[in-house]
């Protein structure tokens, strides 16, 4: 896309709709309250605001990129359409029986989340495909017609079709769609072989049901949005950010709306990836901490780590297993209940526990003085001297240190025989350790050593905690970019057009068929490139080839990246070497004497990222002007230290301040621990580096 | 160095728990048996140099809890401290020094930091085949149940014992799978070790003495606080279940005393001839699990938090089987232990524990082979396929029981698509079983029905591991019993609940797994829940009418609503 184009990024969040307009090198942003009944209204209002700021009219906008939590929220709040599931006879209850296990082993009163569709909305057909894709029981068309009549009479808006082993043979699912299209042309249909063609029926069916469930809502919304934008003069292309961090067409988003789930946080990861590119960083940990949750993502080679399954709508303290599995390409993030508003208590083991309960914005942490009595993370930050009570949120909220101290003393100190600062120290250490643990587990699952990483932090609470997190994780460098408040919407504008084409085809290395592989990967390449070409007629297109491999008999694969040359002239020996290298890195040793197999083939086509100006990293050339000094607690030193307070705005390029320091701005405060120093970079990032 | 602060200890404790979770995760990712990689039948933990368990991953198997807690001490004693070297990995499947049967492989890795032994990592996983008669109840002694691996070295100073691997390969039906799982177990300890040594470097620790003391003291004190808040009282509980040929009565005398709870199984039936006997270590695990759920659910498992729960039983009773009793299906008796403990505990703490549930997992293993009654197709193969399935759990004092959800075990079922990739088996049906939950103010969880056959050209043996055929789950406080187990071939040929049984070509096995029992008077059940249950087909119109007094008019209205897919 050309440098001169005018582009609008829009992120609909739970509270705010963020709008960013980029005109040439200039950027204009605004935040408007999300309008739940008709979310497009907030977009139109925001668009007019930024257009006015930029002095342009909406018809000058060339392209709009949009991400939204609407899909996620519809799933969490169960506001989807009247949806039916059609499945194989004998498997009506797959989405209800889940894994037949309890995600919390010790709770005798545990309740499991209800499936999206109650049992009376699940229908079966006599048919069966086996594990080799062969047909055991053919599907009788008249049986489908009878069921279609029933579905028509019941007045369903949307139908999900999920049949056993359809990822190997989709003929029956397609016949069902054909019949439904003939008999019930107004009913929307989602097939599991298209939405999520992967083995494991529970995940596949559930993903398809989720897609069908939100499809009428999202299709209608996207249609209205397009119309309203046109009416307001913005008759340009509208694209959607998807969960995997790429961009898809509005039509494709309307067909597969489940791919929009978590597109907002995905935008944040793309934002961080873009900064990584600007600094030429190969390994980055993005850390996004807001009021209620923190999200952590690994970004390697300036590309966020992706995964093929995740869980939405966790119902039980963010606990793994308590939500719904969705298997689609997704930016692989860990989300934990740790934000500025997260509340602390003392448990039976006399340990401090933090979150996932949050004080929210009402009543808020105790220090807001709005009736909150329990200590929150922000209360600890205040008592430890990290926040200035008079300038919080640009002075919009006066903080009360006495209330924070009282909450800490009453709810933590009394049980643990600690004074307020020690309790605050404990609270902050626990929440930081929770986040560090989440990051570590995530890194291990991906075979990564975080000490080689740079952290990029954004979101209101992240800069307060990122420095300590770096100490805990052995990370030497932290970047805090400007504009972090609307990071996701900026990220949308940085995202490439991309499409990942996948196929499940099993092949053992002992039956390696180079010609077949070449054909398969070429087909996938053509499919993914074709899609990207339809979004952008001129740009170069890059392709990444990936195969998922495992020892024959294992249930989980590891992704192996192939170069174009390796993909187009495949050799068994190369595949084996690449697999063994990665396997050893992840798990310590290879297994002797076993065959290796490939299960999934994937090609991701993408436009190249915007060319980024590589910013020179300057070492500190001048002292940043110190505004004031105050006492701030340094956890690594376990003591209060005299700390420099510096205004971010007053730091010119190359200005440096040594920790302990607090760099303040309206939205947040960057804490520089005693072990670090901070330098202002030419692009406005604050670079927090380990001393020495 | 100076003594770390309490805050630092808290951080380290969290870190150890996260290290063992990572250890467990690595095992799932690298395992071969569906029992491990799909169902999560595994556990992982970290120990100090004395063999005291400091932290354990919360995985699918409470049965491994106490057993694993004791295992490492056995390894230290058998290997000998002077023979413990960096790079070593130890192995056993000893039912009495591991986790109760030969099918659980336990592996232990010493963890060295700066050349000094600082602790151990251990993990356990249930493998699909260990040779012998195959997984099932049919053996008459442990010698018939498979290959026995005494505590020994799998690897010494990093070098794997190839002789042992050859012996293992030569004695089991799925050698690649088993050897792959053994490597996976070794990998998973390695992951835990890497994390531990990184933590020790970060905090400048030379040993784990300080953090071990902190964890154990806090856990002990918290557990004792809970126990000492209970009334000092005694009560007894009893339950009879099917057994193999003759019924088994489990009996427990529960005594809550200062600083301890004693579960004494005196009066329980003696050994069974077949492999459903349970070593004490496994009985202890489930007795302790049941009590912890009810009394101290949030206190993590470690040596100190488990110690106050004491369990005794007469030697060679079915809950304290000694060598060489056959013990392959020790889980059947083990999984019933919580129901018996709750029968007693309910008298001391009313309104806390659930009604009886399906209890033991509804597992079966099929041994498939080319058909023998006619020429088999060329691609017919031999294969071992194990599945874990669940009946309904018992209704709770204020909630319905969970449908088709394991309790007390916490393992997952395998996706049927994964199961069908493991061998030429076909799962024709796996869905909820209407009307199987016991009636009550709160309904028992529904069981499930399954139907299993083989791909064309194959016949098979099915090893059944079911109970509650003659002894369904009993209701509490007016709730009624759950539905019993049934099993037969699709042509009506009757089958037994336990033991290996031959299924000819083209026949299928039809099974209905038990429901949980109800809690409280059915007449007091909220009418809207009865309507919901009927609408969803959890109960039949007859049950709605006869058991809950629903009018014919209401029933007709709900039947109409169901046809149009209404939500109420």
Interval A420-445: pLDDT, tens: 999 999 999 999 998 998 888 777 66
- Start-to-end C-alpha separation, chain B: 67
Give dist(CA B443, CA B400) in Å, integer. Answer: 5
A482 or B111, higher pLDDT? B111
How far apart are alpha carbons B542 and B555 in whole angstroms? 9
Q: Which of A33, A327, A28 is nearest to A202 (CA)?
A: A327
Written as one string, the DSSP assignment of A359-399 is -TTTT-SGGG-SS--S-BHHHHHHHTT-S-TTTGGGGTS--
- DSSP assignment of B247-284: -EEEEEEEEEETTEEEEE-TT--B--SSS----HHHHH
**Averaged pLDDT for residues A372-380:** 94
pLDDT, tens digit, for every residue of A337-350? 888 889 999 987 78
Q: What is the pLDDT of residue A318?
A: 63
Alpha-carbon Rg for chain A, nearest whole angstrom, is: 26
Q: For residue A500, what pLDDT is reported?
A: 82
Q: Give residue-wise pLDDT tens across range B525-567.
A: 999 999 999 999 999 999 999 999 999 999 999 999 999 998 8
CB A594 within 8 Å of CB B180: yes
Helix (H) or strand (E) holding A505: strand A498-508
Per-residue pLDDT at A3: 44
Inform me whether the pLDDT recorded for A238 exceeds 90. Answer: yes
What gap in Å lies between CA B437 and CA B483, rounded to an integer?
6
Average pLDDT over residues B486-508: 97
Summary mean pLDDT of chain B? 94
ipTM confidence:
0.93
- Pair A466, B48: CB distance under 8 Å: no
pLDDT, tens only, B174-203: 899 999 999 999 999 998 998 899 889 878
B262 touches B247 (CB < 8 A): no
Is residue A1 pLDDT above 50, yes or no? no
pLDDT of residue A361: 61
Q: How far apart are CA A588 and CA B113, in angstroms?
A: 17
- Chain A positions in Cβ-Cβ contact with residue B295 (cut-off 8 Å): none
Nearest in space to A310 (alpha carbons), one of A409, A169, A210? A210
Classified as helix, coil or strand, B472 is: coil
Distance from CA of B141 to the nearest CA of A (A): 31
Token duo for residue A53: 């700021």
Q: Compute the average pLDDT of residues B414-436.
A: 96
pLDDT tops 70 at residue B456: yes
Helix or strand (DSSP H, E) at A306: strand A306-307
Give the DSSP letter of residue A634.
E
A312-336: pLDDT as tens digits: 877 765 677 888 899 888 898 888 8
Specify the pLDDT at position A18. Answer: 85
Average pLDDT estimate for A106-134 = 95
Cβ contact A446:A467 at 8 Å:
no
pLDDT of residue A2: 42
Averaged pLDDT, B211-240: 96
Contact A91 B430 (CB under 8 A): yes
Q: Which residues pair with A299 in a beta bridge?
A: A284, A304
Cβ atoms of residues B154 and B105 within 8 Å: no
In the numeric block, which tokens belong to residue A318? 């963010």
Would you call A84 and B406 a contact, using CB atoms and an 8 Å cutoff?
no
Check if the beta carbon of residue B44 is closer than 8 Å to that of residue B428.
Answer: no
As a whole number of angstroms, the distance between CA A606 and CA B86 comes to: 47
Tens-place pLDDT, residues B91-143: 999 999 999 999 999 999 999 999 999 999 999 999 989 999 999 999 999 99
Distance CA B427, CA B446 (A): 20
Other CB atoms closer than 10 Å to residue A578's CB: what's the count? 17
Kindly tell me if the per-residue pLDDT of B2 is higher than 60.
no
B411 → chain A, closest CA residue: A101
| pLDDT over 70 (residue A490) | yes
State how far residue A212 is from chain B, nearest Cα, in angstroms: 16
Euclidean distance between CA atoms B124 and B25, whole angstroms: 13
Question: Does B34 sit within 8 Å of A90, measured CB to CB?
Answer: no
β-sheet bridge partners, residue A633: A640
What mean pLDDT do residues B519-524 have? 96
**Has residue B158 got a pLDDT over 50?**
yes
Checking if the pLDDT of A544 tops 80, the result is yes
**Region of poorest pLDDT, from A363-367, B150-154, B375-379, B459-463:** A363-367
pLDDT of residue A616: 62
Say yes or no for a CB contact (<8 Å) between A433 and B14.
yes
B-chain residues within 8 Å CB-CB of A91?
416, 429-431
Per residue in B249-306, pLDDT (tens digit) is 999 999 999 999 999 999 999 999 999 999 999 999 999 999 999 999 988 888 999 9
Distance CA B471, CA A113 (A): 31
Residue with tokens 């038990």: B514
Q: Measure the CA–CA gap between A358 and A62, rounded to whole angstroms.
A: 41
For position A319, what pLDDT does the model report? 72
Give the minimum alpha-carbon distance from B563 to chain A in angstroms, rounded to a whole number.
Answer: 7
Mean confidence (pLDDT) of chain A: 89
What mean pLDDT do residues A151-179 have? 97
Nearest Cα to Cα of residue B90 among B102, B69, B107, B68? B107
DSSP labels, A37-102 = SSHHHHHHHHHHHHHHHHT--GGG--EEEEEESHHHHHHHTT----EEEEEETT-TTHHHHTTSS-
Token readout for B92 is 């056993």
Subunit contact B30:A352, Cβ cutoff 8 A: no
pLDDT in the model for residue B1: 39
- Checking if the pLDDT of A245 tops 90, the result is no
pLDDT band at B516 (very low <50, low <70, confident <90, very high): very high
Question: Is A618:A682 a contact under the CB 8 Å cutoff?
Answer: yes
Q: Say if residues B418 and A554 touch (Cβ distance below 8 Å).
A: no
Q: What is the DSSP string of A97-153?
A: HTTSS-SSTT-TT--PPPPSS-GGGEEEES-EE-TTS-EEEPPPHHHHHHHHHHHHH
Q: Which chain B residue's Cα is nearest to A155?
A: B564
Q: Does A61 touch chain B (CB under 8 A)?
A: no
d(CA B305, CA A617) in angstroms, rounded, equals 53
Q: Give the torsion sign (CA, A273, A274, A275, A278).
A: positive
Across the interface, whether the CB atoms of A82 and B25 are under 8 A apart is answered no
Tokens, residue B524:
């007091």
Name the residue in chain A with its Cα closest to that of B289. A106
Check CB contact under 8 Å for A91 and B179.
no
What distance in Å separates the CA atoms of residue B36 and residue B29, rounded to the nearest whole number?
9
Of B32, B352, B406, the CB nearest to A553: B32
Residue B444: both structure tokens together = 């028992």
- Mean pLDDT for A337-365 is 83
């Amino acid at each position: 896309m050309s440098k001169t184009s005018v582009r609008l990024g829009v992120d609909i969040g739970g509270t705010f709709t963020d709008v960013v307009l980029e005109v040439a090198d200039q950027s204009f942003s605004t935040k408007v309250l999300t309008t739940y009944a008709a979310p497009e209204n907030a977009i139109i209002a925001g668009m007019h605001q930024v257009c006015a700021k930029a002095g342009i009219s909406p018809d000058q906008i060339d392209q709009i990129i949009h991400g939204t939590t609407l899909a996620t929220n519809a799933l969490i709040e169960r506001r989807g359409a009247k949806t039916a599931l059609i499945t194989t006879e004998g498997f009506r209850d797959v989405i209800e029986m889940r894994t037949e296990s309890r995600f919390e082993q010790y709770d005798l009163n545990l309740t499991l989340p209800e499936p999206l569709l109650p049992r009376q909305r699940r229908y079966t057909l006599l048919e069966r495909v086996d594990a080799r894709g062969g047909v055991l029981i053919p599907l009788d068309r008249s049986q489908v017609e009878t069921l279609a009549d029933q579905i028509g009479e019941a007045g369903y808006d949307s139908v999900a079709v999920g049949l056993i082993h359809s990822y190997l043979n989709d003929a029956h699912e397609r016949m069902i769609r054909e019949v439904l299209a003939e008999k019930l042309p107004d009913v929307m249909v989602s097939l599991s072989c298209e939405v999520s063609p992967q083995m494991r029926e529970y995940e596949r069916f559930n993903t398809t049901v989720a897609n069908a469930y939100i499809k009428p809502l999202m299709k209608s919304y996207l249609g209205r949005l397009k119309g309203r934008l046109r009416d307001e003069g913005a008759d340009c292309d509208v694209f959607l950010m998807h969960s995997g961090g790429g961009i898809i067409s509005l039509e494709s988003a309307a067909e597969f709306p489940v791919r929009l789930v978590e597109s907002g946080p995905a935008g944040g990861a793309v934002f961080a990836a873009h900064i990584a590119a600007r600094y030429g960083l190969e390994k980055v940990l993005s850390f996004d901490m807001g009021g209620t949750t923190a999200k952590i993502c690994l970004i390697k080679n300036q590309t966020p780590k992706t995964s093929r399954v995740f869980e939405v709508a966790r119902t039980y303290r963010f606990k793994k297993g308590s939500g719904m599995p969705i298997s689609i390409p997704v930016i692989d993030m860990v989300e934990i209940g740790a934000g500025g508003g997260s509340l602390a208590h003392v448990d039976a083991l006399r340990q401090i526990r933090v979150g996932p309960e949050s004080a929210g914005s009402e009543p808020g942490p105790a220090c807001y003085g709005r009736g909150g009595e329990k200590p929150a993370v922000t209360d600890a930050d205040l008592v430890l001297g990290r926040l200035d009570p008079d300038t919080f949120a640009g002075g919009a909220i006066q903080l009360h240190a006495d209330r924070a101290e009282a909450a800490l003393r009453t709810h933590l100190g009394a049980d643990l025989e600690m004074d307020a600062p020690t309790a605050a120290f404990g609270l902050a250490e626990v929440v930081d350790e929770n986040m560090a643990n989440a990051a570590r587990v995530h890194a291990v699952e991906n075979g990564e050593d975080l000490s080689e990483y740079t952290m990029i932090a954004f979101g209101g609470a992240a800069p307060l905690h990122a420095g300590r997190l770096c100490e805990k994780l052995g990370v030497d460098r932290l970047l805090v970019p400007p504009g972090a408040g609307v990071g996701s919407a900026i990220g949308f504008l940085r995202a490439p057009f991309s499409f990942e084409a996948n196929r499940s085809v099993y092949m053992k290395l002992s039956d390696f068929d180079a010609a077949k592989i070449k054909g398969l990967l070429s087909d996938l390449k053509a499919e993914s490139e074709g899609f990207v070409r339809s979004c952008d007629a001129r740009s170069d297109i890059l392709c990444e080839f990936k195969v998922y491999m495992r020892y024959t008999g294992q249930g989980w694969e590891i992704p192996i990246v192939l170069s174009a040359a390796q993909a187009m002239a495949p050799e068994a020996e190369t595949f084996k070497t690449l697999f063994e290298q990665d396997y050893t890195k992840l798990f310590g040793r290879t297994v002797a004497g076993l065959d290796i197999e490939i299960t999934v083939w994937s090609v991701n086509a993408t436009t190249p990222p915007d060319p980024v100006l590589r910013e020179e990293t300057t070492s500190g050339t001048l002292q940043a002007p110190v505004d004031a000094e105050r006492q701030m607690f340094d956890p690594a030193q376990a003591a209060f230290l005299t700390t420099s307070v510096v205004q971010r705005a007053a730091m010119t390029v190359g200005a440096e301040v040594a920790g302990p320091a607090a760099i303040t701005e309206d939205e947040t405060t960057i804490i520089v621990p005693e072990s670090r120093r901070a330098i202002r970079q030419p692009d406005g990032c604050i670079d927090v580096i380990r001393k020495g | 160095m100076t003594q770390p602060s309490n805050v630092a200890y808290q951080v380290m404790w969290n870190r150890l728990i996260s290290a063992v979770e990572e250890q467990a995760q690595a095992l799932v990712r690298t395992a071969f048996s569906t029992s491990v990689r799909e169902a999560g039948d595994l556990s992982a933990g970290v120990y100090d140099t004395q063999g005291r368990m400091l932290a354990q991953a919360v995985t699918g198997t409470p049965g491994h809890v106490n057993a694993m807690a004791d295992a490492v001490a056995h390894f230290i004693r058998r290997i000998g401290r002077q023979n413990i070297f960096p790079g070593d990995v130890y192995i056993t499947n000893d039912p009495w020094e591991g986790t109760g049967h030969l099918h659980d492989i336990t592996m232990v890795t010493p963890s060295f930091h700066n050349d000094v032994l600082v602790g151990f990592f251990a993990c356990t996983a249930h493998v699909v085949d260990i040779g012998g008669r195959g997984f099932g109840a049919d053996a008459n002694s442990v010698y018939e149940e498979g290959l026995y691996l005494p505590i020994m070295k799998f690897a010494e100073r990093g070098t794997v014992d190839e002789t042992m691997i050859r012996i293992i390969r030569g004695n089991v039906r799925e050698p690649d799978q088993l050897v792959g799982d053994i490597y996976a177990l070794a990998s998973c300890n390695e992951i835990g070790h890497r994390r531990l040594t990184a933590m020790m470097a970060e905090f400048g620790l030379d040993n784990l003495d300080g953090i071990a003391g902190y964890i154990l003291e806090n856990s002990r004190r918290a557990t004792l606080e809970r126990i000492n808040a209970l009334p000092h009282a005694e009560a007894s509980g009893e339950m009879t279940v099917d057994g193999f040929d003759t019924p088994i009565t489990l009996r427990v005398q529960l005594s809550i005393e200062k600083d301890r709870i004693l579960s004494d199984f005196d009066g329980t039936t003696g050994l069974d001839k077949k492999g459903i006997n349970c070593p004490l270590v496994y009985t202890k695990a489930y007795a302790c699990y049941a009590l912890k759920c009810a009394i101290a659910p949030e206190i993590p498992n470690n040596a100190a938090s488990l110690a106050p729960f004491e369990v005794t039983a007469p030697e060679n009773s079915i809950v304290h089987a000694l060598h060489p009793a056959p013990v392959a299906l020790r889980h059947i008796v083990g999984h019933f232990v919580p129901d018996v403990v709750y029968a007693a505990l309910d008298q001391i703490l009313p309104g806390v524990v659930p009604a009886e549930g399906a209890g033991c997992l509804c597992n079966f293993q099929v041994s498939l082979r080319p058909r023998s009654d006619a020429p088999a197709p060329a691609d017919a193969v031999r294969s071992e396929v194990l599945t874990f399935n669940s009946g309904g759990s018992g209704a709770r004092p204020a909630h319905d029981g969970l449908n088709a959800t394991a309790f007390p075990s916490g393992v997952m079922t395998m996706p049927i698509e994964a199961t069908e990739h493991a061998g030429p088996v076909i799962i024709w049906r796996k869905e909820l079983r209407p009307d199987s939950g016991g009636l009550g103010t709160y309904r028992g969880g529904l069981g499930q029905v399954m139907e299993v056959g083989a791909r064309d050209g194959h016949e098979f043996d099915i090893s059944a591991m079911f109970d509650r055929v003659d002894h369904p789950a009993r209701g509490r406080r007016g709730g009624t019993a759950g539905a019993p187990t049934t099993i037969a071939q699709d042509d009506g040929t009757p089958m037994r609940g336990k033991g290996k049984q031959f299924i000819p070509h083209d026949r299928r096995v039809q099974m209905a797994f038990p429901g949980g029992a109800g809690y409280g008077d059915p007449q007091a059940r909220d009418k809207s829940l009865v309507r919901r249950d009927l609408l969803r087909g959890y109960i039949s119109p007859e049950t709605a009418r006869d058991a809950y007094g629903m009018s014919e008019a209401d029933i007709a209205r709900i039947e109409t609503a169901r046809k149009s897919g209404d939500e109420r």
